[in-house]
Amino acid sequence: MRALLQRVSRASVSVAGDVVGEIGPGYLILICAMQGDGDLHAEKLAAKIAKLRLFKDEAGKMNLSIKDIGGSALIVSQFTLAADLRGNRPGFSYAAPPDEAKRLYDLFTAKIAANGIQVANGIFGADMDVSLNNDGPVTIWMDSAEA
């Protein structure tokens, strides 16, 4: 699985003008299941994200986890993270098929929540409008193969 993790002071996602997910301080996680991904990929990535120390301590160093600060995670499906850019028009054949991608998205969300992190979500497959205040800015590209 691939994830783009952004440390935020706030983030929200809307569908058709209605806010469907919203958080204060924490992470906006854009997530994509790739061809060949399975449960272990979702579990490993969620465990790694829960332990990452990307929040500032009293000395101003990134030394605190999302759990340490009582933060939340807004998790949004983003199949375009699987883009194949060899040509001028991206292809998305590296993304998992929709049914499997949805299953892994739900599993990833459940594993983040099981780590004691409050979770909000977008709507899988919907045309979403995402708004955020990136704190830092801190943006991390992650792949379950490296977690």
Interval 72-81: pLDDT, tens:
999 999 999 9
SS3 129: strand
| Per annotation, catalytic residue among 35, 80, 92, 139 | 80
What residue has token string 């499906």?
77
- Residue 81's domain comprises 2-146
* CA–CA separation, 136 and 134 (whole Å): 6
Name the domain count of the chain. Answer: 1
| Amino acid letter, residue 135 | D
| Per annotation, catalytic residue among 78, 108, 118, 139 | 78
- Please report the pLDDT score of residue 147 as a whole number: 73
78 is catalytic: yes
* CA–CA separation, 91 and 80 (whole Å): 9
CATH number for the domain spanning 80: value is 3.50.80.10
pTM for the model stands at: 0.96
Both tokens assigned to 29: 């996680």
| Per annotation, catalytic residue among 6, 55, 79, 108 | 79
Taking 70 as the pLDDT cut, the residues of the chain under it are none
